[in-house]
Every structure is written in structure tokens, then in C-alpha cells.
Structure 1
């Protein structure tokens, strides 16, 4: 059985992203800089997910860490 990620929050994080900028989404749920990685995953089976913004706009990054469309929210938090 695999280790589940920590749930940072049971709602998405709304973030204004900048076109062309690279973001590293926290997949473990332990980062203090949610929804982005701060290296807290070290020693765990998790690693950050790289995301490059295609346009400057508001996106909703997953906060529960159970999305099927990482790093973006797919509504999985509603089933936890």
C-alpha cells in the first residue's frame, strides 16, 4: 500500500499565474508555502510537479493533493 499525501486543505488554492513562468506544485502536502514546494518532501516518496503557465490568469491548484489532474484541482476534495 502506498503512502497517501497529507491534505494541505480541502479546497483548491486560487493563484494568479504568469504566462511562461514555471511553478513547482507541492504533491506531498507538507510544504509551508502551499500550494508550492518548499522541499518538505525530502525523505518521502513524493516530489514536486512542474507546471508551466500557458497564459497569465487565475488557476486553481489542488489543495487536497488527491487530484487526478495534478497540479490543478479536479474536485477530488469533495470526496474526502
Structure 2
């Protein structure tokens, strides 16, 4: 599988309401950090994540995290 496109070399830190979110794994979405369908035709698929209570979350922006969909600092090595 090809490497994902790096959307940004830092997390997307957002106050997130409860709900179901689809994290972009390919890095091509125009609605980062969430999927807008730009992965179609690639081997990438978005990752579904349910948020049960309002929280400030650090969604991975580099798409190289070992703990998807959240930032683990992997962007520091890119």
C-alpha cells in the first residue's frame, strides 16, 4: 500500500461533539481531519470513530499515527 498524503505535520485539535466521525486515512480530504470521499479509487478507507461525550481531541493530521485516529507524535519524525 502507498503511503498516505500528509495533510499537515501537526494534529487537528478540535472540540468535538458526541457523534460518529469518519477520520480521513488517505490525507486527500478537503474536510480534514474527516473524510469527504477523496480516497475513492485508492486502497485507503476512512476510520469510523464514535465520540460519546463532548471532548477536545487531537485528530492525527500526518496520517502516520500508530494510534488512529488520534495523534501519537509520529509527525515529529516525518
Same fold (TM over 0.5): yes
Would you identify which runs of 4 or more consecutive aligned residues in structure 1 move more than 4 Å?
A: none
1:18 corresponding residue in structure 2: 17
TM-score calculated relative to the size of structure 1: 0.94
Selected match of 2:35 from 37, 41, 55? 37
SS at match of 2:15: strand
RMSD over aligned Cα atoms: 0.7
What runs of 5+ residues in structure 1 fail to find an aligned partner? none
Question: Could you tell me how far apart the structure 1 residues matched to 2:47 and 2:15 are?
Answer: 18
Counterparts of residues 24-63 of structure 1 (less than 5 Å): 24-63=22-61
Q: TM-score if structure 2 supplies the norm length?
A: 0.96
